[in-house]
Amino acid sequence: MHDNRVNLFVCGPTVYDDSHIGHARTYIAFDVVARYLKYKGFSVFYLQNITDVDDKIIRRAEEIGESPRSLARKFERRYLEDMRALGVTSVNYYARATEHIAEIIDQIKVLIEKDFAYETETGIYFDESRFEYFGKLSHQSAEDIAKHRIEPDLTKKNPGDFSLWKKRQDGDEVTWDSPWGKGRPGWHIEDTAITETYFGSQYDIHGGALDLIFPHHEAEIAQMEAASGKRPLVRYWMHTGFLNVKGEKMSKSLGNFITIREILNRYKADDFRFFVLLAHYRRPIDFSEDALEQARSSLERIRQAARLMEENLELAPQSIGEGEIDLSFAEARSRFMEAMDNDFNTPYALKAVFDLVRDVNRRINEDSISREEIRDALYLLGEFGEILGLRFHVTERETAKRTEDVTHDLIGLLLETRQVLRDRREWHLADEIRSKLNDLNIEVEDSREGSGRYSMK
């Protein structure tokens, strides 16, 4: 919409628990979208919301006797740690719902003024019958929508009406003042209040998982287009397919989920990223350890090839005959870019990577490649890796060794700190460090001599 700028918004997490690898799939996909657009020369503003007020957060907080606010902050922190660990680095700004309550209230006021929303004794609702495009994104008629019974509430005018503001009920502690008394925002309105704040009433790309199309994204369109009178809310909707386990979607409600932390305890982030990118973002992924294991060995094959290239940088001849190789590099690059240009087709892009390394390896074995060409090939691999957020070229032994050393030193430092705390009888903090380390599968062994020993579970 604006020259060289791409405004991208993706629905963020509701922070009441650790995110699972189904979520990771979505965020990795959009990380690659943002990286590729940047590579193509766009200036990308990638915005995500954090839903830090929600019934699920309040319920969970009650269950474990924590305040909803501290629970939300804890899982927000853990979410951001997970994203960093997965190499999801392209989000420019995370906007918390609770920090945009004023904007949310303003948007609801506009909707009431324009007669798109009405007040009842339980809250403020959007009147779907007033918005002629309701159901368009999910291709549903008013009768279809009536069947869903979203948010059953007897005070609503139409079954498809959704809540913009929930009035305080007995016992509610998480509330804000509003023109309609104390209460809290509905889920859908936070997104459009946040996107309007940073992007205005229209922007380029909205992303999220497939199951958010209805009612969530449908509601967003209704809210913003009704409030602004401008269509469309976004130029492109992009939805990621599910990550399935034995044919069923991985989800909290089905209890068949694996958290990002669990998977990163057993696999490297790159292995999981590679696994995700072997499927097109719109397609479902069938998750199994076998499939992940296979992805890991495919990635390892590419890395082995890259190591062979590196070893031959010195051994290969300075020059060979004319540029057959250069042609195949150009072809690899153009096939990679064509695949990415075609709706971010990462599996085809990865095929171009495989073909490139196979080709170069063959020529190394045939002694028909020069040093310079190997250097070019390594450079190209680096470029592909940058776009996908993967490292194809690592001298594995060195990195593993270096990471191991640093990890050992850091754990040592923590244990020394903990010993100082113990000496000062600050048991609470000392125990906290031990339990946090334990979460990371590092067991601290206390003994009379002190607490300098640990083992990895």
Residues that bind Zn ion (CB under 5 A): 11, 191
Q: Is residue 244 exposed (0-12), middle (13-18) or buried (19+ Cβ within 10 Å)?
A: middle
Run of H or E residues at 163: strand 162-167
The whole-angstrom separation of Cα 329 and Cα 371 is 14
In the complex with Zn ion, the residue whose CB is nearer, 11 or 71, is: 11
DSSP state of 45: E
CB of 165 to Zn ion, least distance (A): 17
* Nearest alpha-carbon partner for 71 in 48, 55, 91: 55
Positive or negative, the Cα torsion across 398, 354, 84, 6? Answer: positive
**Parallel, antiparallel, or unpaired: how do β-strands 203-209 and 5-10 relate?**
parallel
CB of 11 to Zn ion, least distance (A): 3
Distance between the two ends of the chain, CA-based, in angstroms? 52
* Nearest alpha-carbon partner for 165 in 113, 218, 111: 111
User: What secondary structure does DSSP assign to 343-381, as a single string?
Assistant: T--HHHHHHHHHHHHHHHHHHHHTT---HHHHHHHHHHH
CB of 155 to Zn ion, least distance (A): 25
In the complex with Zn ion, the residue whose CB is nearer, 150 or 309, is: 150
CB of 186 to Zn ion, least distance (A): 11
CB of 218 to Zn ion, least distance (A): 11
CB of 364 to Zn ion, least distance (A): 49
In the complex with Zn ion, the residue whose CB is nearer, 239 or 422, is: 239
In the complex with Zn ion, the residue whose CB is nearer, 11 or 53, is: 11
CB of 208 to Zn ion, least distance (A): 6
The whole-angstrom separation of Cα 401 and Cα 384 is 25
Run of H or E residues at 206: strand 203-209
The whole-angstrom separation of Cα 434 and Cα 144 is 54
Residue 326 carries which side chain, given as an amino acid letter? Answer: D
* Nearest alpha-carbon partner for 173 in 66, 40, 20, 317: 66
In the complex with Zn ion, the residue whose CB is nearer, 31 or 191, is: 191
In the complex with Zn ion, the residue whose CB is nearer, 227 or 269, is: 227
CB of 111 to Zn ion, least distance (A): 18
In the complex with Zn ion, the residue whose CB is nearer, 10 or 316, is: 10
In the complex with Zn ion, the residue whose CB is nearer, 151 or 271, is: 151
- Looking at beta carbons, which residue is closest to Zn ion? 11
149: Cβ contacts below 8 Å, ≥ 6 apart: 159
